[in-house]
Structures are given as C-alpha cells and as structure tokens.
Amino acid sequence: MSSAAPPIPVEPPGTFGQRILAGYTWLMILYSMLPIGVMVVFSFNQAPNGHIALRWIGFTLDSYRHAFAIQDLTGALLNSLMVGAGSALISVILGTPLALALARYRFWGKTATDILIFADIAAPAVVVGASLLSLFLALNLPRGLLTIFIAHVAFNIAFAVVVIRARVSGLDRSLDNAAADLGSTPWVAFWAVTFPLILPGIAGAWMLCFVLSIDDLITTTFVAGQTLTFPLWVYGATKIGTPPQVFVLSTFVFVGGVCLALFNFAMSHRKQPAT
Amino acid sequence: MRRLRGKLAPYLLSLPSWVYLLCFFIIPLGSMLGMALAVGDPLDGYTMSDNFSEFVNAFTSFEDSFIRSFWYGGLSTLITLVLAYPVAYWIAFYGGKHKATFLFLIMLPFFVSFVIRVLAWEFILSDQGFLFGSLKAIGLLPQSFHLLSTSWAVIGGLVYNSFAYYVLPLYVVLEKIDQRLVRAANDLYASPVSAFTRIVLPLSAPGVFAGFLLVFVTNVGDFVNADLLGGPGTYMIGNIIQDEFFVNQDYPMAAALSSLLMLLLMVSILAYSKAFGTDAIQEYAA
C-alpha cells in the first residue's frame, strides 16, 4: 500500500546502534576486569587473622611487605614459573617445524595432523589429565615436576603450532626461494631468512604457552602427585581460608604478564614497516 | 637428492610433534580406555577384561551429573555466545585502528590464574561479602538471599571464564567478512536486521560453531567452578572423575567416565569437520 511512498533514506549504518554497541563492548570489558580489580583492591585490605576478609577493613601494605612470607606458596609459584617457561620453550621448539610443514607443504597425513592439533586444543582438560594419569599409573612413573612438565608440553604444542603457523602463512615464500637460488642450503636459508621473520610469531607462541601453563589447574591436579604449582596451592587453600599473599602474588604475575605482553606487542610493531 | 629431500621435508618437520603427541596424547587416551576395562583394585593390581559393563555402570550411576554437566555446559555456552557476539562484531566492524587494543583488553583476564578468577567471583558473590552483604545491610536484599551454591553461580562462573575464548573465534571470522557486502545490502534496501541475518550471520557460522565446540567441551568437563561457586547440588562430571581418582581410588570407574567425555569430544569434532571441513579448523582455535 505504500508502494508509491518515496524510499526511506537509508541511514548510514548504525550511528545510534553503533553507539549502543560501543557502550556494550566497554561494559563487557569492565565485566571482564571486575574480578581482577577486586583482587588488586583487596590485596591492600587488612587481613586480621591471616585470611582475606570479605569486607573492606582498612588500607595496609602489610601483605606486600610479607609477600613472600609463606614459603610453600612462594615455592609453588617458582614451580609454576619454571614449568611455564620450560614447557613453553619445548613446545615452541617442537611446534615450529610442524607449523612450517603445515603452512608450506601439502602432504599425506596433513588432514590427520590438522585434526590431531585441533583435538589437542579442544580436548577437555579433565580428559587430558585423566588419560595422562592412566598412562603414568600404568608405567608406574612417580608423579611430580617431570610429569607436570610432560603434561603441559602435551597441551601447549598445539597452541604453539597454531600461532606460529599463522605467522608463517603470512610470509612471502619467494624470499626463501631467493635464498635457495643464491645457493644457500635450506638449513642456512631457514636461520638467515625465515627464522628472523617468524620470530615475533614464535615469541607470541611462547608467551601464550607460558600463560596457559601458569594458568592450568585442571590437568595439573591429575598429574602433580605431591608437588604443588601456584594454582594447586591456591585451590587447596580455598578450602581452609585464603591468605592475602595469594592476591598479592597474583597481582605481581598480572602486572608482569601485562608488561611482557606490551613489550612483545611494541617489538613486533616496531618491525612491521620493514616487512 | 635434493628432490628427495623436498619430498621428505614435511614428514621430517612434523615428526617431532607427532612423536610427542603420540606418546603423551594419543597413547594416554588408549591407556585410559584400557584402564576403564581393567578389573581389580589399587592394592592387588589390575587385570584386563573385555567387559564393557563399566561404561554402562559409569553412566547409570552418575546419570544425574552427566545430565547436569551437559545442561550447565550447553546453557553457559549459549549465554556466552549471546554476550560475546556483539562485542566481536563491534571490534571487527568498528574497531578501526584500535582493534588490537580492544582484543588485548578482552584478553587481560588471562594474565590472572584461572583459579584466582573463580576465587575472586566466589569472593564477590559471597552471602556476606562487600556486595551482597552491604545490600542486605541497607535492606535492598532480603537476608535469606544467596547466589553462591546455586546452579546460577556455577553457570555464571562458566560464562565469565569462557567469554574471551568465544570472542576470539567470532572476531577472526567476522573480521574476514567483506564489509562491502553489508553496504551493498543496505543499498538494496535491506533493513539492518535482514542485512545481519542474511549476510553477516551465515558468513560467521564457522566461527560460531567452532567457538561453540571449544567452549562447550571445556565447560562440560570443568569442575573448578562447580567446586568453588556451587554446592552439593551442583556436582558435575569433572567433580566425579576427580573424586573417583583421588578420594575413592576407583581408577576403572574414573577412566570410564573420562572415556565417555572423550567420546563426546570425538563426536563433536567429527560433526564439525563434516560440516565445515578441516582446512580452517585450527584458525578459530587460538
């Protein structure tokens, strides 16, 4: 009935809707940050009986002064940092060649490899942990730092492969061919040409693996035995009352992690104009 | 010689990872299946059997927890999708120069350990905490109000922890959509709603499903949220597996339960790769 009406002028897509979406995005960012804000704020709260108080009592730096006072907790954090750095390094070393293969070659078994990597990422932590525990029990391998390390590499490899592969795919293959034409062996070409170019990807992959390793609780509970990592210690403490040092140390980890990420971000952007 | 090496190169390059994942991902899954079939106890040792009754047993004894895990997992994934989609959409389409910054802000919680994030929520939601306690003190909430130990606290925790995991795959696929398509639809008098439902939504389907799979599988297997934010009535299958391993030391039962969970994973991956192929399967994963 309104066929004769002039067409409604099309509004440039969403000035109003766009604003709502922008506001919503900021709201969700705030929501993401809420527990972290609470953690940082309450790390400055007084803790009368050595446990984190549920209400604000008063500002104090005591918990920071005694940040490393709980030896087990500090030890657990050191375990976590060690396993994180080590397993991330091994994952990157094992993952880089596979990432190169997947990004540059078509080969028999490529689909199977794709599925394997995806399965490793998608596998629920409970299953990864329980299955590794079954293996360690069957082999009679005592659980400890080594088994935690093995488990963390097992779930980190796949993430390393995916991140590095994305970087390799973005590279110009002709650079490698040029190196080959100039008579360099693939080995030399890799170290002289490819490696420096994918280094930001490798660094990013290492960071991601490090973070995932430090973060992991579920897989680690199965394979840790009596050894404690930072999340395991905290998880155990939740049953009996959490000391304020937990919030203090994870504030340190948070700040350190953010600085490292910003540094990595700045470095990879500094190199951008050259590529 | 050089030709041969060229042919062999991809195999040599994939060998280290394959060997590692074979030893510590595939073989363990096999040994878990084996343990589920074993009969015996930790003291006298185990013997293999071919009775699959443990699987039936595992399912029937913990039917409630299985159903609850799938219910929590499904609902929390759906809520996360609804919350994450607009964020990914806005960053991909209107993020401009600051896309990376917004993504970084979304990722920030990852720098705090998972267990601490859940702990902080326990802290925020506690009955006498600074939030509900204060609201109760000024009479805005009835004294009997509580959120902790309910299903909603657990689902809320799951949603919070999967939010960033879902934004990423959605962003990856939305970012690739050619925005001229949307403009063309507008030029052809499509309403914003139909431009969205007929162009943007179908094109983002692979990311929606990949994210759904990743988040759903993770949430079904989670036990930390249920443990810290839930109560006795919120036991999920992950809690049971943990109890069977470490409290009851019934390894065959624990292994049977996790094998069932693994089955879920395999079915989902198969369904996904049938529907969307395996080429881009990893792209949405990290």
Residues 118-137 of B with CB under 8 A from A: 119-124, 126, 128-130, 133-134
Interface predicted TM-score of the whole assembly (ipTM), two decimals: 0.86
pLDDT in tens, A25-46: 999 999 999 999 999 999 998 8
Question: Residue B260: phi, psi to the nearest 5?
Answer: -60, -40
Using an 8 Å CB-CB cutoff, list chain B residues near A115. 269, 273, 278, 281
Residue of A nearest to B243 (CA): A222
Residue A84 vs residue B132, higher pLDDT: A84
Q: Cα(B85)–Cα(B78) distance, rounded to whole angstroms?
A: 11
Q: Looking at the complex, does the CB of residue B34 fall below 8 Å from at least one CB of chain A?
A: yes
Please check the confidence at residue B40 and state whether its pLDDT lies above 90: no
Q: Looking at the complex, does the CB of residue A153 fall below 8 Å from at least one CB of chain B?
A: yes
Asked if A25 and B86 come within 8 Å (Cβ–Cβ), the reply is yes
Q: Classify each residue of A62-86 as buried b or exposed e, where b means 16 or more C-beta atoms within 10 Å of its C-beta.
A: ebeeebeebeebbbbbebbbebbeb
Q: Which residues contact B86 (CB under 8 A, 6 or more apart)?
A: A21, A24, A25
Residue A241's CB: how many other CB atoms inside 10 A?
11
Q: Looking at the complex, does the CB of residue B251 fall below 8 Å from at least one CB of chain A?
A: yes
pLDDT in tens, A182-238: 878 888 888 888 888 889 889 989 988 998 998 899 999 999 989 999 999 999 988
Structure letter (DSSP) for residue A109: T
Please check the confidence at residue B282 and state whether its pLDDT lies above 70: no
pLDDT in tens, B119-149: 999 989 988 888 888 888 888 888 888 888 8
Residue pair B93/B102 in contact (Cβ under 8 Å)? The answer is: no
> How far, in Å, are A141, A152, A205, A221, B61 from residue A87 at the CA level?
19, 6, 12, 17, 38
Asked if A35 and B117 come within 8 Å (Cβ–Cβ), the reply is yes
Amino acid at B44: D
Separation in Å, CA of A54 to nearest CA in chain B: 5
Q: Which of A55, A135, A154 sits opposite B31 (nearest CB)?
A: A135
Q: Cα(B68)–Cα(A46) distance, rounded to whole angstroms?
A: 39
The alpha carbon of residue A163 and the mean position of all alpha carbons in its chain are separated, in whole angstroms, by 11
Q: Looking at the complex, does the CB of residue B86 fall below 8 Å from at least one CB of chain A?
A: yes
Nearest to A82 by CA among A22, A139, A144, A127: A144
Domain with residues A68-274, CATH architecture: Orthogonal Bundle (1.10)
A vs B: CB pairs below 8 A: 295
Listed by start position, the domains of chain A span: 68-274
Q: Looking at the complex, does the CB of residue B100 fall below 8 Å from at least one CB of chain A?
A: yes
Structure letter (DSSP) for residue A4: T
Q: Cα(B119)–Cα(A167) distance, rounded to whole angstroms?
A: 36
Q: Cα(B141)–Cα(B145) distance, rounded to whole angstroms?
A: 7
Question: What is the percent of chain B where pLDDT is above 90?
Answer: 34
> How far, in Å, are B71, B151, B165, B223 from residue B228 at the CA level?
18, 12, 21, 9
pLDDT for res B269: 78
How sure is the predictor about B9, in pLDDT bands with cuts at 50, 70 and 90?
A: confident
pLDDT in tens, B228-245: 999 888 889 999 998 888
Q: Looking at the complex, does the CB of residue B254 fall below 8 Å from at least one CB of chain A?
A: yes
Q: Cα(A74)–Cα(A128) distance, rounded to whole angstroms?
A: 27
Using an 8 Å CB-CB cutoff, list chain B residues near A166. 283
Average pLDDT over every residue of A108-119: 89
Asked if A21 and B94 come within 8 Å (Cβ–Cβ), the reply is yes
B62-276 CATH choice from 3.40.50.620, 1.10.3210.10, 1.10.3720.10, 3.40.50.1000: 1.10.3720.10
Q: Cα(B238)–Cα(B218) distance, rounded to whole angstroms?
A: 10
pLDDT for res A10: 43
Asked if A113 and B18 come within 8 Å (Cβ–Cβ), the reply is yes
Q: Which of A121, A130, A153 sits opposite B286 (nearest CB)?
A: A121
Separation in Å, CA of A245 to nearest CA in chain B: 12
Asked if B133 and A54 come within 8 Å (Cβ–Cβ), the reply is yes
Question: Among A17-26, B41-50, B84-93, B187-196, which is the least confidently predicted range?
Answer: B41-50
**CB-side exposure of B210: number of CA atoms within 13 Å?**
28
Q: Looking at the complex, does the CB of residue B147 fall below 8 Å from at least one CB of chain A?
A: no
Q: Which residue has the tokens 């009997």?
A: B144
Using an 8 Å CB-CB cutoff, list chain B residues near A109. 11, 14
Q: Looking at the complex, does the CB of residue B91 fall below 8 Å from at least one CB of chain A?
A: yes
Residue A5, classed as helix, strand or coil, is coil
pLDDT for res B44: 57
Separation in Å, CA of B110 to nearest CA in chain A: 7
Structure letter (DSSP) for residue A244: T
Residue A59, classed as helix, strand or coil, is strand
Q: Can you say whether the dihedral through the CA atoms of A34, B229, B32, A76 is positive or negative?
A: positive
User: Which runs of consecutive H residues, i.e. helices, occur in A57-124?
Assistant: 62-65, 71-104, 110-122
Q: Looking at the complex, does the CB of residue A74 fall below 8 Å from at least one CB of chain B?
A: no
How sure is the predictor about B267, in pLDDT bands with cuts at 50, 70 and 90?
A: confident
pLDDT in tens, A116-150: 998 898 889 999 999 999 999 889 899 999 999 99
Q: Looking at the complex, does the CB of residue B28 fall below 8 Å from at least one CB of chain A?
A: yes
**pTM as predicted:** 0.87
> How far, in Å, are A216, B185, B283 from residue A211 at the CA level?
9, 42, 20
Residues 204-243 of A with CB under 8 A from B: 208, 211, 214-218, 221-222, 230-231, 234-235, 238, 242
Residues 157-176 of B with CB under 8 A from A: 160, 163-164
Rounded to the nearest 10 degrees, the angle between the axes of helix B237-246 and helix B63-94 is 120
Q: Cα(A94)–Cα(B281) distance, rounded to whole angstroms?
A: 20
Asked if A17 and B214 come within 8 Å (Cβ–Cβ), the reply is no
Calculate ∠ Cα A238-A244-A248, nearest 5°: 115
